[in-house]
Each structure stands twice: as C-alpha cells, then as structure tokens.
Amino acid sequence: MSLPHAILTALLEKPSSGLELTRRFDRSIGYFWSATHQQIYRELGKLEAEGHIRTLPSEAPARGQKKSYEVLPDGRAELARWTAGPQDPKPHRDATLLRLRAAAVVGTAGLAADLTRHLDLHRRQLAEYEEIEARDFPSGDDDSAQARLQHLVLRAGIELETFWTSWLTQALAELPAEENP
C-alpha cells in the first residue's frame, strides 16, 4: 500500500483538509498505514499536480484558510487500478523477532522486560480495536459492502493483536527462568 492510495481512499470516503486527513489517519487508517502531517501535505501536493485531486472551491478565499480536497475522476481511476492490480505480500520484518533470534546466540539479558512491555502494548491495542468493534459494528451484521469491508479490516487488526498477545505470552514462558520477570 502506498500513502497516495491511502489518501485517495480517505478523500473518497469524505473530502477533507490536510489537517482533517491527519486526524483521520490518527483515528483509523493510521492503525495499519501511518503518515506524518508533513507526509500527508507533501502527497496532497503531488496528487493535485498529477490531476488526481483538486482543492474544493471556498466561499470567500482568504489567506491562511485551510484547503479541502476531493478526488477527481483520474484519482478514482488510479485507486481502482491499484486496488484491482496484483500485489505480492511483503516480507515480514520485525525487530522483536530478530532480537529473539539474536538472543539465542548472545543471551536473553534484558529481553523479558521488553517483551513484557510489548505484550502490554498489544493487549492495549487489542482492547482498543475491540472497543471500536463494539461501538461501530455492534451486531456484526453489516448491511453495506463498505461497512463489511471496513469491519473486515478491523477484524484483521483484532486477529493480529490476538496473535501477538498469544505469541508474546508463549515467548515469555520460553525464556530462561532467570530472565523471566
């Protein structure tokens, strides 16, 4: 996935300003594709230059007024092309897994405390996802294709966090007793 496609998706869901996009990334898309405020503004400029989005006209143009953007037909076509095209899974790169592999040869000193911290972070993220699911998809009976797909993305997050909490619990149990807090 690329940031331009994430922005096109967000703007198709709702035309927004750069600041609104940043907030929406923090609340939803950012759970699986993060971007800084600066990255979003840089991409908005590129997307506008490429003719994929445009600035919405404002009633009274004023200096410093926030610009809102909407997706143009070329932008929708680009997103549809990208969505329909093939994409291979990316190799998983995770520093925690590499650190555990390294600990097998250099020792596990200090590792248990960080794995415990990771476990706590994943438990909190899982709880947050479950709260979102209870709030936004209470019946689990989604009536629109858009809602079903959004719920499916959320379910992927829940399943990943469930995996990590289970795996980290097991990893902590496997550490030598003197290293396990």
**Element housing 124 (H / E):** helix 111-136
Do 56 and 84 form a contact (C-beta atoms < 8 A)?
no
Convert 54-92 into a string of H (helix), E (strand) and C (coil): EECCCCCCCCCCCCEEEECHHHHHHHHHHHHCCCCCCCC
To the nearest whole number, what is the mean pLDDT of the chain?
A: 88
Beta bridge partners of 68: 17
Residue 75, token pair as written in the block: 């932008």
Q: Is the pLDDT of residue 1 over 70?
A: no
Residue 53, token pair as written in the block: 């989005």
Name which of 38-42, 58-62, 160-164 the model is least confident about. Answer: 58-62
Place of tokens 């619990």: 169
Place of tokens 């929406």: 24
- State pTM to two decimals: 0.78
Place of tokens 């899974």: 89
* pLDDT reported for residue 61: 57
Cα 100 from Cα 153, distance rounded (Å):
29
Burial class (CB in 10 A: 0-12, 13-18, 19+), 139: exposed
Distances 49 to 4, 7, 30, 45, 165 between C-alpha atoms, Å:
12, 14, 24, 6, 44
Residue-wise pLDDT for 45-77, tens only, equals 999 999 999 998 876 555 666 789 999 999 999
Q: Is the pLDDT of residue 11 over 50?
A: yes
Q: Which residues have a Cβ under 8 Å from the Cβ of 105 and sit 6 or more positions away?
A: none
Residue-wise pLDDT for 93-142, tens only, equals 889 999 999 998 998 998 999 999 999 999 999 999 999 999 989 886 76
